[in-house]
Amino acid sequence: MSAAEQAGKVIRPYGDTTGDGRIQISFTLPLPSGTEEERALAEGAAAQLAAKMGVEPAMVVHAKAMGPDFTFFIVYGPVKHLVDLADVKVARREFPLMSTADVNRRIRSALGRELVVVGATVGVDAHTVGIDAILNVKGHAGEKGLESYSEIRVVNLGAQVAVADLVDRAGAAHADAVLVSQVVTQRDAHIKAAREISAAFTAARGAARPLLVVGGPRFDPAMAQDLGVDRVFGRGTTPREVASYLVHTLAPEPQGNAA
């Protein structure tokens, strides 16, 4: 069934049988469960929390101690809530996906030079898997990274780069775009880092700052304006998608070639 055919359809979750409304949720509570009495109290608290969330009756189907003071739970049960597909908001990609050859061709015709991309993770984030998946030749999901594009020059700074250093090195490289991947999300560290990056580049370069792109598994693509960046990519993003966005934004089709 197409998206258009789904519009206006009301659905409910599926658990054991169609339309039973059953869901499974997991969470951690700051309660010990080492003794029988502690476990009973912790499971009762988990069931109460789930009931307040609309899962009723709530069944605690799994409980596991996470150290001496915390317990992880999986709770299963039905909810009465429905989903009206007509009210679902979906972020649409506003640019076409392009092949490697088309990306390179567009950069040559629109810029007449290499497009320079600087990438890094910042602060205490030591996870490079995200930025490497987009930048390195080996790429991700069967697609080669931006280093494989003949018309893109990649400067991969690696992990734990100070924001001030990122600004300086992007300036030295004459970066057209800066890509930052953030995997560490505790206490909204990724949100704070994105805002710090935006503020630092704006202070240093003003309107002449490079295109700022951030990404990671906990980012919401709708947050770009709030974070002060140009684009946010979430989980599942591929190198081709990033390359197509960069070209769409930084190397638009010359007017004489527009359809």
Tell me how far CA of residue 13 lies from CA of 23, 80, 139, 203, 239, in angstroms: 6, 9, 36, 48, 33
Residue 77 near residue 13 (C-beta atoms within 8 A): no
Buried b / exposed e over 106-144, threshold 16 CB at 10 Å, is bbeebeeebbbbbbbbbbebeebebbbbbbbeebbeebb
Q: Which helix (H) or strand (E) holds 49?
A: helix 36-52
Cα distance between residue 231 and residue 211, in whole Å: 8
Residue from 9, 52, 138, 192 carrying the catalytic annotation: 138
Rounded Cα distance between 71 and 167, Å, is 42
144 is catalytic: no
Which residue's entry shows tokens 């527009």? 258
Q: Which residues are catalytic?
A: 138
